[in-house]
Structure 1
């Protein structure tokens, strides 16, 4: 039996999770939550680095984030589809770790893989709750499992978030996890082609986006999320400051 996780964060490429929701992961781990990361592809079509270097970088970033587990489903970068074959792979990993919350890519974005993977994970999360869909892992028939919430983190395009998560105490460590990807971002010591994300300006945009979202709720840094499912509350206690 695999360890049950509270949160399972999906990224279509290694570094998506770090860029999109690593501050949230760090905050949740600090609260004692168990968080896992699943990369759908190895990022093998990336202009800089290779699948091998991305694997090493992802492992280093997982240590920074104190993830309970990180695995890669090795789907074809750029060419995976939202079909039964790929949905079953995601269903298997959701049923393996039984998360209450799933974090995944933006519903639409500059990179076409992002939106496609977002819908793949969302569809698979629903199907994972249907007991008549049978999946077997390590010769064991899996039980049906449907996460309570699917939250899509913001990426390159600015989409209006449904809520934002305060990461002020964890922003520096978020950047540390991103910098584990030495081949992908600005690095004057590398003789690699320049890309959209390898300039110093792109790295500064991470800070600017986090500051902008933080300003919306009166904190220094935040990460934004979109949810298709309405979030309900049954108390205002978390919104009220108690004094003695």
Structure 2
């Protein structure tokens, strides 16, 4: 496992099962957070070592470049790609990170997604975030429970609960997305994958344009959450969209 950044008291922690998961959905939110002086970070559960294209090392280097473009630190837990479970060992490892980082808000993978790792990661993170607040749970660190959870869209997610105007950071957000060349760049010498097809990138842009049209802005990113919308998420939206 790689050394992790010394972080504490985060405003926002976005988690993904693999490197690039976060950048696909909420890179703009993280870039805005950095520009507004909020403490954000990315946590990848795995290095994506089972991916059809690229190697774990390549993806780690791409992930670091993407995080630098967004202006946030990145943490990698090195769980085994495709093989991590919801068992105690993984839950307590994640609980320890939540207690160490003390994030106010977590952004999770979608609970309904075509990739099994994303669905499993959502469940694992939700459980870990709850149990991390129990003082008698045998786990390292001082108990801590985030104030709110939100998640990104998956398969047919329905109307978003929150839309964030990310127009001011859109180019930087897409530069972070493009940093994952091993995954998203069409290359006839590499295996054909769904996410490497140019249509996938157009889909990311089209989705953000549609959500932007609902907010009457150029580009927006979407989040879903339990209702009523937690006050911490409403406050985050206000902070993100306040003048720089």
- TM-score normalized by the length of structure 1: 0.88
Partners of 2:156 and 2:60 lie apart in 1 by 26
Distance 1:85 1:232 in 2: 30
Report the CA distance between 1:89 and its aligned residue: 1.3
Kept in 2: contact 1:98–1:145 (CA 8 A)? yes
| Structure 1 segments unaligned to the other structure (5+ residues) | 137-141, 239-244
Compared CA separation, residues 229 and 119, structure 1 to 2 (3 A): farther
Which structure has the bigger radius of gyration?
1
What does residue 54 of structure 1 align with? Answer: 59
How many aligned positions are there?
Answer: 229
1:7 aligns with 2:15: no
Which of 214, 219, 222 pairs up with 1:221? 219
Q: Cα distance, 1:155 vs. partner?
A: 4.1
Contact 1:101–1:150 (CA under 8 A) maintained in structure 2? yes
Q: Please tell me whether residue 17 in structure 1 is matched to residue 16 in structure 2.
A: no
Name the structure 2 match of 1:100.
Answer: 104
Secondary structure class of the residue paired with 2:183? coil
Say if 1:152 and 1:174 are closer, same or farther in 2 by CA, change over 3 A: same
2:87 pairs with 1:89: no
The corresponding residue for 1:195 is 193
1:27 partnered with 2:25: no
In 1, are the aligned partners of 2:13 and 2:43 still within 8 Å (CA)? yes
1:174-189 equivalences under 5 Å are 174-188=173-187
Separation in 2, partners of 1:2, 1:182: 28
- Please say if residues 20 and 155 of structure 1, whose CA atoms lie closer than 8 Å, have aligned partners that are also in contact: no
Q: 1:139 is matched with which residue?
A: none
Q: Residue 114 of structure 2 is aligned with which of 110, 114, 128?
A: 110
Instruction: Structure 2: state its 5+ residue gaps.
Output: 1-5, 239-244
Aligned mates of 2:136, 2:227 — CA distance in 1:
24
Residues 29, 156 of structure 1: alpha-carbon distance in 2 compared, 3 angstrom cutoff: farther
